[in-house]
């Protein structure tokens, strides 16, 4: 019974957290390292609307990618899961693409930078991270995916409120 419980905890909680953590880091670091940096879209417009807006910066994007990849590398070494490094690269790229796509869609909808869009803001980075990582296999179990989806739904707004209180973000979403 004890081995079964340990196995369940690992497959449903621990491995899914280890797996998705590089995407969480990639999504969080631009808030810290993107302030005052050059906008990723270089203020360019499509049909009179900014591509991404001021909040998506070169420094933030690079910090997110590099940070997620470093965390994935460290995890792969710490946990002896060599395959996790390639997955962390895909997760980090996917997280950034999902976040940028969300900003792109918001600009097309004439929403200002920083305007919150429920679901898309909380899960855009997460969904694209999983899509990019899927071809590499070793995904968490279905129950593990359910767990990290719920966890993401809780952590994303909570970390945004914390970032707002620390004055890292202008808005708490």
Q: Which residue has the tokens 């395959």?
A: 83
Q: From the CB of residue 66, how many other CB atoms can be counted at a distance below 10 Å?
A: 15
What pLDDT, on a 0 to 100 scale, did the predictor assign at position 16? 98
6-20, 29-43, 159-173, range with the lowest pLDDT: 159-173
Cα distance between residue 137 and residue 18, in whole Å: 15
Say if pTM beats, i.e. exceeds, 0.85.
Answer: yes
Do 69 and 21 contact (CB within 8 A), yes or no? no
Q: What is the pLDDT of residues 119-150, one digit of tens each?
A: 998 999 999 999 999 999 999 999 999 999 99
Q: What is the pLDDT of residues 71-127, one digit of tens each?
A: 999 999 999 999 999 999 999 999 999 999 999 999 999 987 777 888 998 999 999
Q: What CA–CA distances, in Å, run from 152 to 17, 38, 41, 158?
A: 10, 29, 28, 10
What pLDDT, on a 0 to 100 scale, did the predictor assign at position 37? 86
What pLDDT, on a 0 to 100 scale, did the predictor assign at position 102? 95
Do 150 and 120 contact (CB within 8 A), yes or no? no
Domains of the chain, by residue range, sit at: 17-139
Q: How confident is the model at residue 169 (pLDDT cuts 50, 70, 90)?
A: confident
| Nearest C-alpha neighbor of 24 from the set 59, 62, 72, 58 | 72
60 has pLDDT over 80: yes
Tell me the mean pLDDT in the region 149-155: 97
Q: How many residues does the chain have?
A: 173
């Amino acid at each position: 019974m004890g081995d079964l419980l340990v196995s369940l905890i690992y497959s449903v909680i621990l491995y899914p957290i280890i797996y998705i953590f590089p995407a969480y880091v990639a999504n969080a670091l631009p808030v810290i390292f993107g302030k005052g940096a050059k906008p990723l879209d270089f203020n360019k417009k499509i049909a009179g609307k900014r591509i991404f807006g001021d909040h998506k910066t070169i420094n933030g994007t690079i910090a997110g990618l590099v940070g997620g990849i470093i965390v994935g590398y460290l995890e792969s070494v710490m946990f002896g899961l060599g395959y996790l490094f390639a997955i962390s690269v895909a997760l980090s790229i996917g997280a950034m693409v999902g976040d940028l796509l969300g900003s792109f869609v918001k600009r097309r909808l004439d929403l200002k930078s920083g305007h919150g869009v429920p679901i898309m803001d909380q899960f855009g980075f997460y969904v694209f991270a999983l899509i990019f990582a899927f071809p590499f296999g070793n995904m968490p179990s279905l129950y593990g995916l359910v767990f990290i989806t719920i966890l993401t739904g809780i952590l994303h707004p909570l970390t945004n409120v914390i970032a707002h209180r620390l004055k890292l973000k202008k808005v708490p979403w």
